[in-house]
Chain A
Amino acid sequence: MPGEKELSIDARLLSDAIIELNIARRNVTIYPKDHPSVEKSLNRSFDLLQKIFELREDITIAIAKDTLIIDEFFLEKKNPVYKDFALYMNRLGVAYITFKKGITKDELYEFQKTITDKTLVDSPELIEKKFVEQPLKKLSIGFINYDAFSFVDSTNVEENSKKSSIWEKYIYGLLTGALQSEDVSDMIQGISPDALGSYLNRTITDEVKEESYDKVITSYISRPSSNIFSDQEMKKLNELINALKPEIKKQFLASTVRVVSKDVQAAKRFFNEISVDEAVKFINSINEQNLMIPENLKNLIDKFSSLPSMVDEHFIPGSDYIIDDIFLSGDARQLMMEGDEKKFVSEKYMSEIRKLLGYSLPIAGSDVIKEFDKEYNDDYIERYFSQIIIDLLQSDFVTDIEEYRIFINLLNERVEEFVNTGQFGQIYQLLKLISYNEKNKKYPEITEQFIKYFYSDDFLIRLIDTFRIFGRQSREEVWLICDYYGELIIPLLMDALSNEESPIMRKFLINLLKRFGNKLIPEALKRLEDKRWFVKRNMLYLLADSKNIEILPYIRPYANYNNSKVCFEALRCLLNYGDEYGITSLKNSLKSGSFEDIEMAANLSGMYRVNEAVDDLLRILKKRTLSSADVYQKVLVVRALGEIGDPRALETLKDLLVSKKLLFKNAIEHLNEEIYKSLRNYPIDSIQDILKEGLKSKNEIIRSESKRLSQKVQK
């Protein structure tokens, strides 16, 4: 692909044109059309394009992800401007742009305007649509067609292909005929020396002409945007020559010598720039093959051999020198140039280290190793990484705003991960961090953005959603988060409670809400008006434990509500405060004919030991038993009375114990058992006679209960 033909335009001109196009893109994003910066950059890019059009009719810039390709040449991959431009266009789904002779400044502006239009950049399909519907006359754009990326069985993909840059392959196919044909030799420059050597060893025959060798060499090492024969390229060439079979090595070497000696200036640069090692290797190879060296190159080599071995601009007087901002001693410099590690490490140790290199133990399968495997997991490593970023942000060592921004963004990217994996501890630390920074007005703009995100409904809803999944395993951390948000999170938790179907989760959410204490009262009172009975019930349940008497007027209306579950919670709430209205309502419920109401009221009477309800409870006990359901009701009443322990109940209980059991024999036997089980709260003296009778009973449970209580009395 690259290298077969030379670029017909000056590389510098091209580089400048791309730089100006990139500047223009940025200016158009910020300023209006008539702004001097926009005009200036547009004019410059336009002028540069015009100069290019003096040399050719059009120019196509293809984009292979982060690399720009002109004709079939890759532009310098490391150049940040090229990279920025390429990545930007790739993000827009652009595969190539063709500028044609005759393009106007308006068209150039229109192009820049469209690719930077904020309403379009997030939807490349809209950009594509716009260019299709309103095409520019002298500028055409090709968009990535994902249909060209086909599905293949992974077993059919060569190892090399798996590692390859598929974008380059795509663009290559595109440039060479819409993915239809290709010339194998085009791809030569991207191939490793070993692979190319192996290919040439297999395929080169005696009939191959001298020019073909030159062509391979030129194609393989020449770079359009940099000096030919850099150290890396020389290294590559040396490696290629070494990989060739002896029969063709000489021809290739001769070809290299020819290519190098064609341009003495380039050859001079080459000898100045490549390392001594590579140059010596190259010259040794020439000598080994007894090649004739052209005179001009020979002179140059002689000159080269008399030069100092290395020139270093940064060398400073004394034994030290400086590179960038790093001071290095003369010893270190020597070390780097010669790899003379012996200076610092003894030969013995070096040999020990060398032995290590050839050593390979069989893979251990122990549990410890398996445990280690967990830590090698990418996701686990990410977790550690995030923790370190949090540590750094919590330290005093991030003092630079840009650094702060980078770290905050790194964490921002991970918040979703924290949420979706229940890493509540890390979320809490982040919340504490931003709260601390907010208080201390540390980088307020960045902090504010972060806070905005953490307080957004979207985030909070997702957070609570994951409480459902992970919350029970990290109760304390979940509570810390909820406590951090305070009243703000209460309505959302209440919403989640209302929508929750799982009783276990409801319990979890209720327990979480209850920890807010009085803070939840306003929201709970508000939600009492919700039409759904279960919402009312939940709110009453939560309010029952609050310690605020002012809520009672809001609760009382529900003591007589038409849903017994709501009613139960309201009464529970009122009885919790010993509220008179609650007691009256309870008594009313006991007097009602509704089995459900009586059951609920009996339970509450016992639960809150409501003495005032004893008469009503006894009245139920004295009623005639007409069904087994009546017996069941009496069991509940007996239990309630047992909890209250009022001796007024004992006479009635005795009556029940001695009454004849003609009907519902088993149920009544069960009732009697319950009476004995309920005696523990009555004054001991007043139950002696009942116990005496119980000890004589044929019923095992009654006997054993009587025995247990009698022993208690004796003690």
Chain B
Amino acid sequence: MIETINKFLSSFTSAVLNCSLYSGEHASVNEFITKALDALNILFNDSESLEIMIIEDDIVINKTLIRNAGIQVVNLIRKLKRKGISRVDILKGVEFMEIKDFIVSLLDKDKVTKGFPHILTGAVDIRLGGQNLTEDFRIGDISQLSALQANGVKEIFTNVSHFKKLETYGLEEIVLKFAAAFKKEANILKLLCPIKSASEYTYVHATNVAVLSMFQAETLGVRDDIKHDIGIAALLHDVGKIFVNVNILEKKGKLDEQEWNEIKLHTVYGSKYLAKIESLTRLAPIVAYEHHLRFDGKGYPKIKNDGRKQHICSQIVAISDYFDALRSRRPYRKELEFEEILFVMKNESEGMFNPFLLDNFIKSMYRVLSG
């Protein structure tokens, strides 16, 4: 039975994945739904339904915990959770089109994943006897405990080294504060937990790039969870500099070629470091790696696979990075005026940025700053 459940899960997640990457009309989606349905029909010989429960990051099917389920299942869990679903019951009699419609609705942020005759969606809960909990005592608050226990960003960045993994609790907190500040117009910079880095400039720069990137995401109508991830990725975009020789990083004179090459490696160091952290959004290593790639494919690091373009989030962070770098006062040069920077970005950086994003950024900045 577990073999058939695994077959179902593998086919179902592949159908979801292909529908997500291509479309519901892609032949692969039909192929995998057919395979999933075949497995389901075998399972229905023994029971009237297939119960899928998402318990935190585990998947339990027909009361059996599925072990080593793999990345596809992890992504399915994420998709279900995003829709507020932690329980799916598939009933005997389910047909191809119903599964297909369910998958399509699961992937469409505007569609409600409900109302299927043979696929029931809901949540998993523990029924505790006795009195009902009042709203404030819902167990949900316990999950905030871990955030409260975080020792803050100070501790997080103290832990950044080759030998330690980044503690992400505090980063989450910063980004949530940014997001809240966007809504409340609070003075967010007062609330920020400062980020330690190899140089003082990097700290301020990282936070500003995060603010600017989340701002861009906001203007682009990016959904909240991605905006949050962009914030995290932007905060960490230069984390690789921690692994660059501090003397080079803080050198005031001109850099020679070797030194410059060493600085350029911060993209590789950063992505290597961040890619190893399971709990971190994948956007963090992507952005760390790509934020100095250009829209026209030039820039660094040199990538071997021609034709691959910068991820949209790296493009967003690249704009923020450039803007803030020119905007911030540095020991060796004066800061540029806001208009001067936008002028430079628009006219002197051809091929560097996604023109649509750059226009959006400039327009949005003008609209905000003109009140």
Contacts and interface: CB of A to CB of B under 8 A. Distances in A.
A55 interface: no
A397 B268 contact: yes
Interface stretch (B12-20, B92-100, B254-262, B343-351): B12-20
A198 B7 CA distance: 49
A384 B311 contact: yes
A93 interface: yes
Interface stretch (A323-331, A490-498, A680-688): A323-331
Contacts of B58: 65
Contacts of B141: 160, 164, 187, 190-192, 195
Contact of A389 (B65, B218, B275, B371): B275
Given A336-B154, A421-B17, A180 B272 contact: no
A690 interface: no
A164 B138 contact: yes
Interface stretch (A362-370, A525-533, A582-590, A639-647): A362-370
Contacts of A199: 134, 136-137
Interface string A492-515: 000000000000000000000000
A181 B275 contact: no
Contact of B139 (A160, A344, A382, A420): A160
SS of B interface (majority): helix
B219 interface: yes
Interface string A236-255: 10000000000000000000
A353 B212 CA distance: 8
A146 B268 CA distance: 44
Interface stretch (A149-157, A445-453, A570-578): A149-157
A234 to B, nearest CB: 11
B102 interface: no
Interface stretch (A165-173, A538-546, A558-566, A599-607): A165-173
Interface stretch (A11-19, A208-216, A405-413, A478-486): A405-413
Contacts of A470: 28
B362 interface: no
A358 B180 CA distance: 10
B200 A166 contact: no
Given A165-B142, A357-B181, A357-B211, A150 B128 contact: no
Contacts, number: 376
B55 interface: yes
B286 A166 contact: no
A594 interface: no
B129 interface: yes
B123 A152 contact: yes
B134 A403 contact: no
Given A354-B187, A403-B272, A416-B72, A162 B289 contact: no
Contact of B282 (A144, A364, A368, A385): A385
B369 A149 contact: no
Contact of A232 (B137, B148, B161): B148
A329 B87 contact: no
Given A372-B312, A421-B14, A469-B28, A153 B123 contact: yes
Nearest to B225: A376
Contact of A410 (B53, B138, B275): B275
A366 to B, nearest CB: 9
B125 A166 contact: yes
A457 interface: no
Interface string B100-126: 000000000000000000001111111
A173 B125 CA distance: 12
A341 interface: yes
B268 A344 contact: no
B198 A382 contact: no
B275 A385 contact: yes
B151 interface: yes
A381 B282 contact: yes
Interface in B169-214: 178, 181-190, 192, 194, 196-201, 203-204, 207-208, 211-212
Contacts of A392: 268, 271-272, 275
Nearest to A462: B10
B166 to A, nearest CB: 12
B218 A359 contact: yes
B65 A376 contact: no
A198 B18 CA distance: 46
A609 interface: no
Contact of A382 (B75, B130, B212): B75
B276 interface: yes
Interface residues of A, number: 125
A356 B215 CA distance: 7
A385 B311 CA distance: 10
Contacts of A198: 136
A438 interface: no
A362 B367 CA distance: 13
B89 interface: yes
Nearest to B133: A184
Contacts of B51: 151
Given A324-B158, A385-B286, A349 B125 contact: no
B253 interface: no
Given A184-B137, A364-B221, A173 B126 contact: yes
A669 interface: no
B3 interface: no
A357 B214 CA distance: 9
A375 interface: yes
A206 interface: no
A152 B130 CA distance: 18
Given A166-B126, A388-B285, A349 B327 contact: yes
B143 A335 contact: no
A106 interface: no
Given A382-B75, A391-B303, A406 B276 contact: yes
A146 B199 contact: no
B272 A181 contact: no
A379 B189 contact: no
B185 A361 contact: no
A422 interface: yes
A352 interface: yes
B188 A354 contact: yes
A88 B78 CA distance: 23
B204 A345 contact: yes
Contact of A352 (B201, B246, B369): B369
A387 B301 CA distance: 14
B137 A187 contact: yes
B196 A146 contact: no
Given A164-B138, A376-B312, A361 B218 contact: yes
B158 to A, nearest CB: 5
B168 interface: no
A161 interface: yes
A382 B17 CA distance: 11
7 closest pairs, A vs B, by CB? A160-B140, A363-B221, A190-B142, A358-B185, A199-B136, A332-B200, A420-B14
Interface of A: 65, 74, 77-78, 91, 93, 122, 124, 144, 146-154, 156-170, 172-173, 177, 179-182, 184, 187, 189-192, 195-196, 198-199, 231-232, 235-236, 323-329, 331-332, 335-336, 339, 341, 343-346, 349-350, 352-365, 368-369, 372, 375-385, 387-389, 391-392, 394-395, 397-398, 403, 406-407, 410, 413-414, 416-417, 420-422, 429, 466, 469-470
Interface of B: 10, 14, 17-18, 20-21, 27-28, 31-32, 51, 53, 55-56, 58, 60, 63, 65, 67, 70-72, 75, 78-79, 84-87, 89, 120-131, 133-146, 148-152, 154, 157-162, 164, 178, 181-190, 192, 194, 196-201, 203-204, 207-208, 211-212, 215, 218-223, 226, 242, 246, 265, 268-269, 271-272, 275-276, 282-283, 285-286, 289-290, 301, 303-305, 308, 311-313, 327-329, 335, 338, 356, 364-365, 367-369, 371
19 contacts: A148-B126, A151-B120, A161-B139, A184-B131, A195-B136, A232-B150, A323-B196, A329-B199, A331-B200, A339-B192, A344-B204, A349-B335, A354-B187, A354-B188, A359-B218, A360-B183, A376-B222, A387-B308, A420-B32
